Chains A and B, each alone.
Chain A
Amino acid sequence: MNGELTTLFPALTVITPITGAVVVFLLPARLRARAGLPAAGFTVAAAILLAWGVVTEGAVRHELGGWGAPLGIDLHADGLSSVFVLMTAAIGLLVSFYAKPFFALAGEKGGASELFWPLWLFLWASLNGLFLSSDLFNLYVTIEVMGLAAVALAVLSGRPPALVAGLRYLLAALGGSMAYLMGVALVYGEVSTLDLGLVSEAVEGSPAIRVAFGLMIAGLLVKTAVFPLHFWLPAAHSSAQAPVSAILSALVVKASFYLILRLWVDVFDVAVTVAAGQALGVLGSAAVIWGSYQALRQRRLKLMVAHSTVGQIGYMFLLFPLITIGYREAADAPWLAHAWTGGIYQALAHGFAKASMFLAVGVFVLAVGNDDRRSIGDLVARLPMTTFALALAGISLIGLPPSGGFVAKWMLLKATFSSGQWWWAPVILTGSFLTAGYVFMVLRQAFAPAGKPIELNPVPRTMEVTALLLGATAILIGLRAEEVLILLDVGAPFDEAVEAGEGGEP
């Protein structure tokens, strides 16, 4: 279709982690960690192959079983999906390195640590599947697999608070995916096809399509935890174990954001209205303010980082009002590309920064024994590498130059002014100030001398290094923005303008 190259790469990116998950699951418990890391490595290799294919050949497609749309299910990779697949690969690999020593230690305290590897590989497969699927129903299946694996990971410790938070997460996720599926049914009834490309050609702005689009977006908003539908997130993300929190906050909420973006821009653009865009912007703004403010108020570090996720997700939703105004009149308006790049950069930068932050806090918890903000005194001297990781991640979350978070927020700010929607600018700035508040509050505690000398538990070196590498990546993607943009450019909806906008890179 469309003369796009048909290759095996997209299928490989999904099959590799599924195979890994099954093989690892069949192994005896003590061998799982040893087999899990190579499986993660193969998955990363498949993701790199896919991205390389997209850079050199343009968007690629794979028809599963050779059937092809409309009856068969297609996998399709363009710049947007490859960027998310690569982000998942990079964060996934580093978190896997962290998880091996972490669960070796946690396994001594009970819980079902030996199930981490199969569940995580299944989750990885569903994430890649979601980024690559080109079929509305197949997307539902990947969302559901993702939800089940994510909840199972969140309750891995088996402690009651995690179980209660996990059930709340599961019920919210089920409600969300049912709303999505209801939308799929209505779309199928209207256009009799499920392939994203064919649906986008066939849809008209009829009432049924508008209702279906609304249901799908509403369901996905629950799964992305956008204010006020974030009620399940802080408890679920903060009660999970450190590597799992990192995966949930950095990757899982991004998957449903990706899907909203895909449906909004590529599939249902006829059903999108300016009012709908503004509504998502208002929800995003409320999330930025509320999430960041709540993070400032938390005593427990993990709860603080989880609330910060709510705030940072809000930034990503400022993308929608910005790409909705002037979309039909002037497809090459400069702010479209800025908003598009800024929103996606926010997803990337937050992914790396938040993974680093959860892993760093995990190191603190392991060393000190609890995650109270006041008990981390003097850690800058005792755990300098981890404190530095936390600081780097914080810089990116605040949006200080030259971090990835800065590029994201700068692009969004530029787009708010050039599109004349100045009312989003105070939100972006207030969010940054509140974020600076909680980041510096933690750093101040880490620099403060401890009241009495505390006995620290030893922490494996690998855990500290991976947290630092993730924090450093959150900064580096700000310095090397052009490489990311080259990949993102493939098949981008606003591609001409992206090239024009690149000159204005900060």
Chain B
Amino acid sequence: MTAPVESYQIYAVTAGILFSMGLAGLFLCGHFFKKIIATKILGTAVFLLFISLAKRDFVEFADPVPHAMVITGIVVAVSAGAFALALARRIWNETGRSTFEDSQ
């Protein structure tokens, strides 16, 4: 049974689509919360690509190194997300703003 497309390639392409979605969200959405979610989508895209590359066509078994990197990356992404949320909440409490536009 030889599939015309390896399953890891489907994941890799999905990662590319997610990455574009995250990038678009980061630039086009106004609300702080939507922008922060967009960075999470960006992160998910990158991690998905790492994981899918672990099962490239020329390796016999799943390559463990990308998994180690994704674990580290998730830790970093969680703390960055928490920090961004804390900042956004503090801005909301102090000024009532939720976008960059009405700051000027």
Contact = CB atoms under 8 A, between A and B. Distances in A.
A42 interface: no
A172 to B, nearest CB: 9
B53 A185 contact: yes
Contacts of B46: 178, 181-182, 185
B49 A186 contact: yes
Nearest to A152: B83
Interface string B38-60: 01001101100110010010000
B87 interface: yes
Interface in B2-35: 12, 19, 22-23, 26, 32, 35
B39 A174 contact: yes
Given A182-B45, A185-B49, A167 B32 contact: yes
B94 A148 contact: no
B72 A137 contact: yes
A503 interface: no
B91 interface: yes
Contact of A148 (B80, B88, B97): B80
Interface residues of A, number: 32
B103 A189 contact: no
Interface size class of chain B, counting residues whose CB lies under 8 Å from the partner chain: 35 or more
Q: Name the residue in A71, A170, A174 with the highest tally of chain B Cβ atoms < 10 Å from its Cβ.
A: A174
Contacts of B26: 171, 175
Interface in A173-192: 174-175, 178-179, 181-182, 185-186, 188-189, 192
A151 interface: yes
Contacts of B43: 178
A220 to B, nearest CB: 15
Given A137-B72, A167-B84, A189 B91 contact: no
A71 B69 CA distance: 12
Contacts of B84: 167, 170-171, 174
Contact of A174 (B66, B69, B80, B100): B80
A170 B42 contact: no
Interface of A: 71, 137, 140-141, 144-145, 147-148, 151-152, 155, 158, 160, 163-164, 166-168, 170-171, 174-175, 178-179, 181-182, 185-186, 188-189, 192, 194
6 contacts: A137-B69, A140-B73, A144-B80, A178-B22, A178-B43, A181-B73
Given A181-B73, A182-B46, 7 more contacts: A141-B76, A145-B76, A148-B83, A152-B83, A164-B95, A174-B39, A178-B19
